[in-house]
């Protein structure tokens, strides 16, 4: 409404009906834009999965747990709580830090940089199993299929801090 007044208020030179036509076309354009954005949003939602969709299996997380005990626990702690030198890998601070990134990003971090005292020694399968364990420890649900060990596939899974039903 403010825009409408602004346009007609420019002076008597501009015929008011022209402004009305302009306003009308602006509104339809805006509506079309909103519909487009909505459509893209829906496509994006169905095309990508999130960590709430059961993206690893319980058995895989168990394998990761064993690996964690042998190769990670010394630094990151029993409960993944970390300490002043080593970051926590659980609790909401961890999940919110990774919120909006992908499981692929987390996988890459583990595969490339960990264990910090022996970098580059984890196979992709082991890194995927470790990530499955991290997801399960952070209370994301298990599902029917294992987390793949391919970066591209993992990049399509979003890390989402908030469960979908709590979003409005």
Picking from 19, 25, 22, 24, the residue whose alpha carbon sits closest to that of residue 5 is 19
8 A C-beta contact, residue 127 and residue 107 = yes
Report phi then psi at 102, rounded to 5: -115, 165
Least gap, CB of 139 to ligand HEC (angstroms): 16
Least gap, CB of 103 to ligand HEC (angstroms): 11
Least gap, CB of 75 to ligand HEC (angstroms): 3
User: Of the listed pieces 33-41, 55-63, 68-76, 140-148, which binds ligand HEC according to CB under 6 A?
Assistant: 68-76
Ramachandran region, residue 100 (left: φ > 0; alpha: ψ -120 to 50; beta: rest): left
Q: With binding defined as CB under 6 A, does residue 140 bind ligand HEC?
A: no
- Report the distance separating Cα 111 and Cα 129, nearest Å: 11
Q: With binding defined as CB under 6 A, does residue 97 bind ligand HEC?
A: yes
Which stretches of the chain bind ligand HEC, using CB under 6 A?
A: 71-72, 74-76, 85-87, 89, 94, 97, 109-110, 113-117, 122, 130
């Amino acid at each position: 409404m403010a825009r409408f007044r602004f346009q007609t208020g420019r002076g008597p030179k501009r015929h008011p009906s022209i402004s009305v036509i302009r306003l009308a076309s602006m509104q339809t354009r805006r509506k079309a834009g909103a519909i487009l954005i909505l459509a893209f949003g829906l496509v994006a939602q169905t095309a990508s999965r999130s960590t709430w969709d059961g993206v690893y299996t319980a058995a895989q997380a168990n394998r990761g747990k064993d690996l964690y005990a042998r190769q990670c626990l010394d630094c990151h702690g029993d409960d993944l709580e970390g300490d002043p030198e080593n970051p926590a890998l659980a609790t909401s601070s961890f999940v919110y830090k990774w919120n909006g990134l992908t499981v692929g990003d987390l996988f890459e971090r583990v595969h490339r940089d960990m264990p910090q005292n022996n970098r580059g020694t984890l196979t992709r399968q082991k890194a995927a199993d470790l990530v499955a364990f991290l997801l399960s420890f952070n209370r994301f649900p298990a599902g029917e299929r294992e987390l793949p060990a391919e970066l591209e596939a993992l990049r399509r899974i979003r890390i989402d801090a908030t469960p979908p039903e709590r979003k409005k």
